[in-house]
């Protein structure tokens, strides 16, 4: 099989791996090597100067010895198979870089022969790139669960970011859908990467020339919708991963039915894109807004509100904490006001040192007053909270949940709207009916 045919097969096989993330590492180019890396972003992200930066996202091989029921590359699935040699993939990457097609590499693989053999082949690719070709661009590599710790250590010294896919939210689902994988085999490398990265930072503080281990940290990916775990369970697991292993990102991947099995959703099931969207919003609250998982969801409310983003949903269930005076309240409370983001909260904290802020000042700072007006007071403004709960709910409704094009609903439209549309109701009418019902229901709950 020629290299172009392999590339076609293995880039298509890699499309279910989530890698659209900032690189998190700066490495300047020099006269000794080829390329550079910037922390601003890679793979469908944009650098600070507006450039779109892209990765070559590819598998080393899709020939897998495992039979994970949710995976398109499982051994029992009849798909075209291919595998690169380390030399082929290294030359391909450098060729694409020199043509300015890419600025980095995202490398993953199915388990070829054994976890150790697969990792040795991946390390071979990276050693050629970093050694023979002196490539200084960004490399994100997936570690293979079950591989020898010595191989993980070698890979971490060659790649900028490592990731170990946790795959499914619970050990029970993992044993049912991926019987060849274990929680221990996944968390072991994750723990090793976390400790090695911390040790590397300590050594670099003493000796600048010390080797850097995965300087952009590590991430993981979780499949959503293939197993029965609730949003609350997934969010608590996410919070635990951040705290215990200091991950940079947890990625969520809405399950796309690719196999017929009694343990999996039916093939005609739509991917839970709105649920994935809500998880990313909640993840943002965990990482930047000082929320905990138990504040966003709890034992009594284990699923996200399809009509409100998690921050707005928290706000309408905690109206007793509002309104807050933006000139006096804490930074932590500013972050919890709908319509005030991290940058806006930081600007408010700086600006109010020099004087009392009015509504026009907040608008210039970047506060979304359409939402925030119901939760704040400031100089010369006593708040719109007296307008009543219905006006508050209408202002907070997520437009994406009711998005309707000229002919069809958006991918993120609420499930109830899709159900009405499937019964023959026009999408616009279905969205309007569900919107009014949602407003009435949430207003009664306030």
Confidence of residue 188 (pLDDT cuts 50, 70, 90): very high
Helices vs strands, H then E, count in the chain: 17, 10
Q: Which tens digits make up the pLDDT trace of 34-70?
A: 655 544 333 443 443 454 557 888 999 999 999 999 9
Q: Would the pLDDT of 237 be above 50?
A: yes
Helix axes 3-13, 86-98, angle to 10 degrees: 90
Q: Which tens digits make up the pLDDT trace of 337-385?
A: 999 999 999 999 999 999 999 999 999 999 999 999 999 999 989 888 7
Q: Which tens digits make up the pLDDT trace of 276-296?
A: 999 999 999 999 999 999 999
Confidence of residue 93 (pLDDT cuts 50, 70, 90): very high
Per-residue pLDDT, averaged over 90-116, amounts to: 91
Q: What does the alpha-carbon distance between residue 104 and residue 101 come to, in Å, rounded to a whole number?
A: 10
Q: What does the alpha-carbon distance between residue 220 and residue 237 come to, in Å, rounded to a whole number?
A: 12
| Beta strands per DSSP E along 124-177 | 138-142, 161-163
Least confident of 136-140, 157-161, 171-175: 136-140
Confidence of residue 261 (pLDDT cuts 50, 70, 90): confident
Q: What does the alpha-carbon distance between residue 438 and residue 399 come to, in Å, rounded to a whole number?
A: 13
Determine how many CB atoms are found less than 10 A away from the CB of residue 294.
Answer: 12
Show the 3-state SS of 280-293.
HHHHHHHHHCCCCH
The pTM score is 0.89
Q: Which tens digits make up the pLDDT trace of 16-34?
A: 777 555 444 555 666 666 6
Is there a contact between 131 and 160 (Cβ–Cβ < 8 Å)? no
φ/ψ bin of 366: left (φ > 0), alpha (ψ from -120 to 50), beta (otherwise): left
**Which CATH number is associated with domain 3-296?**
3.20.20.70
Per-residue pLDDT, averaged over 138-143, amounts to: 92
The terminus-to-terminus CA distance of the chain in angstroms comes to: 64
Instruction: Give domain limits for the chain.
Output: 3-296, 305-387, 397-446
Q: What does the alpha-carbon distance between residue 138 and residue 377 come to, in Å, rounded to a whole number?
A: 46
DSSP secondary structure of 56-105? EEEESB---S---TT-TT-TTS-----B--HHHHHHHHHHHHHTTS-SEE
């Amino acid at each position: 099989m020629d290299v172009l045919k392999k590339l076609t097969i293995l880039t298509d096989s890699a499309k279910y791996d989530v890698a659209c993330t900032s690189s998190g590492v700066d490495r300047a180019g020099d006269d000794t090597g080829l390329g550079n890396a910037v922390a601003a972003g890679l793979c469908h992200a944009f650098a600070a100067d507006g450039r779109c930066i892209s990765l070559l996202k590819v598998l080393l091989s899709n020939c897998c010895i495992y039979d994970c029921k949710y995976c398109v590359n499982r051994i029992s699935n009849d798909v075209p198979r291919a595998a690169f040699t380390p030399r082929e993939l290294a030359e391909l990457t450098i060729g694409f870089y020199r043509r300015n097609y890419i600025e980095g590499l995202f490398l993953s693989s199915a388990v070829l022969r054994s976890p150790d053999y697969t990792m040795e082949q991946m390390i071979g690719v990276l050693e050629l790139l970093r050694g023979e070709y002196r490539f200084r661009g960004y490399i994100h590599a997936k570690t293979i669960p079950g591989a020898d710790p010595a191989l993980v250590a070698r890979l971490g010294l060659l790649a900028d970011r490592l990731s170990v896919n946790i795959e499914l939210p619970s050990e029970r689902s993992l044993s049912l859908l991926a019987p060849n994988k274990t929680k221990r085999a996944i968390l072991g490398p994750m723990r090793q990467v976390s400790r090695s990265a911390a040790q590397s930072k300590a050594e670099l503080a003493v000796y600048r020339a010390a080797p850097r281990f995965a300087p952009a940290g590590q991430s993981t990916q979780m499949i959503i919708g293939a197993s029965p775990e609730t949003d609350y369970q997934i969010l608590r697991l996410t919070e635990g991963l951040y705290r215990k292993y200091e991950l940079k990102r947890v990625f969520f991947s809405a399950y796309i039915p690719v196999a017929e099995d009694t343990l999996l959703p039916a093939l005609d099931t739509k991917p839970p894109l709105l649920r994935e969207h809500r998880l990313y919003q909640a993840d943002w609250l965990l990482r930047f807004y000082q929320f905990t998982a138990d504040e966003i969801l709890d034992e009594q409310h284990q699923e996200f509100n399809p009509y409100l983003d998690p921050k707005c949903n928290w706000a309408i269930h905690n109206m007793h904490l509002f309104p807050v005076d933006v000139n006096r309240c804490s930074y932590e409370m500013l972050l919890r006001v709908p319509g005030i983001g991290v940058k806006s909260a930081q600007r408010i904290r700086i600006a109010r040192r020099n004087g009392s802020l009015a509504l026009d000042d907040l608008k210039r700072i970047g506060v979304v007053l359409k939402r925030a007006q119901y939760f704040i007071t400031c100089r010369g403004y006593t708040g719109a909270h007296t307008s009543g709960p219905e006006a508050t709910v209408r202002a907070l409704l997520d437009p994406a949940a009711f998005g309707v094009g000229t002919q069809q609903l958006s991918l993120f439209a609420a499930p109830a709207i899709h159900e009405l549309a499937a019964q023959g109701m026009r999408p616009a009418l279905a969205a309007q009916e569900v919107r009014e019902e949602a407003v009435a229901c949430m207003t009664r709950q306030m």
